[in-house]
Amino acid sequence: MFIDEAKIRVKAGDGGNGCMAFRREKFVPRGGPSGGDGGNGGDVIMESSERHNTLVHFRFNPEYKAERGRHGEGSNKTGRDGGNVVLKVPVGTIVYDDESGEKVFDFSAADRSMVIARGGRGGRGNAQFATPTHQAPRECEPGRPGEEHTYRLELKLLADVGLVGYPNVGKSTLISRISAARPKIADYPFTTLEPNLGVVVVGDAKDEISFVVADIPGLIEGAHTGSGLGTQFLRHIERTRLLVHLVDVSDGSGRPDVVKDVEVILAELASFGAHLEEKPILMVASKIDVANKEKLAALKRYCKKNKLKLYEISAVTGKGIEELKFAIARQVQDLRERAAQAAGEAQST
């Protein structure tokens, strides 16, 4: 089960109350105030972990509460602090405040942590209020309440390459040929109901390049408004560096106009509103072993007109697979170098 959205409610621990007490010991006349402070409430902490890959554990357990601080006691005994609660989320999780919609934190790397609800401070006991002119105070403070929030968690996959295209164009078959991923493959639309990730390794030990490919479930016209699997999976393309657009040029697709297919998918990417249309894209003519010549010719003309590089592949026979792998690897490496250079320039300024 792939769960990429969840809503949780978190409550940090309340602070313990301060104590009002006076020393009552034999041979200690007028012992004075001895009320201890309350302990601090526990925090709710969120941490990114590579051992988790979905938000399913939040879907079925949406409420989390940290331990409250113990109350202060006599003889100047401070209450014990409440224990923290640590919530593990997969890398790529974005935390939004459910009420305001504001983005709170983006866990874009492993082992990052953030306090999402701070525990209340413990109240002061009456010993803290003693002064030379007020030697027997009867004041003490209650503990402060811990923070309480409702958050919406959204998981966006971290992949270098996103495979996009109409349903049943061969994305799952391609990712199974170039990586160790084994997605469900069948000859009906929307076979893939959740994104699949595969790691691709190209080159030898010296010049090895590895990248992560995400097989995004098929898009259709109106996907940006929720049609088909729509916005449920379009968000996973946001973090990719490169898009690989597969187009079925066989007669079995049931769609005669391949140019219209390409334009529909590109329009959906542009309409989603996350600058997806600005990402570099490689065009791929799939199922070339059973290609319709007219469809292939029309796609070639479109790519030449729009200065798009077209690769012809057959995931069944293996034709063009290696050439495509190396082309993707070169493009990903170039995009990584540009990103690193841009990050270095940003730090220097």
Q: What pTM, to 2 d.p., does this model score?
A: 0.69
| pLDDT given at position 178 | 83
Q: Is 59 exposed, middle or buried (0-12, 13-18, 19+ CB in 10 A)?
A: middle
**pLDDT tens-digit map of 222-248:** 433 444 444 455 666 777 889 999 999
Position 51 confidence tier, pLDDT thresholds 50, 70, 90: confident
**pLDDT tens-digit map of 145-176:** 999 999 999 887 777 888 888 887 888 888 88
Counting other chains too, the contacts that 99-108 makes at CB distance below 8 Å and 24 or more residues apart are 99/150, 104/151, 105/46, 107/46, 107/48, 108/158
Residues 131 and 190 in one domain: no
Residues 172 and 318 in one domain: yes
Domain containing residue 64: 5-20+28-155
* CA separation, residue 44 to residues 91, 253, 273 (Å): 18, 51, 33
The domain that holds 92 is classified in CATH as 2.70.210.12
Q: Which of 242, 180, 185 is nearest to 218 (CA)?
A: 185
Q: Are 244 and 178 in contact (CB under 8 A)?
A: no
Residues 279 and 240 in one domain: yes
Residues 144 and 176 in one domain: no
Task: Give 31-46 as a DSSP string.
Answer: --B-PPPPPPPPPEEE
Q: Is 339 exposed, middle or buried (0-12, 13-18, 19+ CB in 10 A)?
A: exposed
Residues 191 and 334 in one domain: yes
More confident residue, 305 or 165: 305
Query: Which letter does DSSP use for residue 79 in this model?
Result: P
Residues 98 and 168 in one domain: no
Residues 75 and 121 in one domain: yes
Residues 322 and 241 in one domain: yes
| Domain end marker among 155, 183, 218 | 155
| pLDDT exceeds cutoff 70 at 289 | yes
Residues 211 and 242 in one domain: yes
* CA separation, residue 282 to residues 8, 245, 329 (Å): 39, 6, 12
| pLDDT exceeds cutoff 50 at 185 | no
Domain count, the chain: 2
Residues 184 and 332 in one domain: yes
**pLDDT tens-digit map of 317-326:** 889 999 999 9
Q: Mean pLDDT lowest for which of 203-207, 230-234, 291-295, 309-313?
A: 230-234
Task: Give 39-66 as a DSSP string.
Answer: PPPPPEEEEEETT---SHHHHS--EEEP
User: What mean pLDDT value characterizes the chain?
Assistant: 84
The domain that holds 320 is classified in CATH as 3.40.50.300
| pLDDT exceeds cutoff 50 at 190 | no
| Domain end marker among 155, 184, 216 | 155
| pLDDT given at position 192 | 41
Average pLDDT over residues 4-12: 91
Please report, as a single letter, which amino acid is at residue 174.
L
* CA separation, residue 296 to residues 26, 218, 256 (Å): 101, 21, 11
Q: Which of 62, 67, 63 is nearest to 41 (CA)?
A: 67
| pLDDT given at position 229 | 45
Distance CA 79, CA 75 (A): 12
Residues 322 and 215 in one domain: yes
Strand duo 209-215 + 161-164: pairing: parallel
Average pLDDT over residues 270-283: 82
| pLDDT given at position 86 | 96
Residues 142 and 191 in one domain: no
Collapsing DSSP to helix, strand or coil, 340 comes out as: helix
| Domain end marker among 127, 155, 183 | 155
| pLDDT exceeds cutoff 90 at 210 | no
Distance CA 63, CA 8 (A): 6
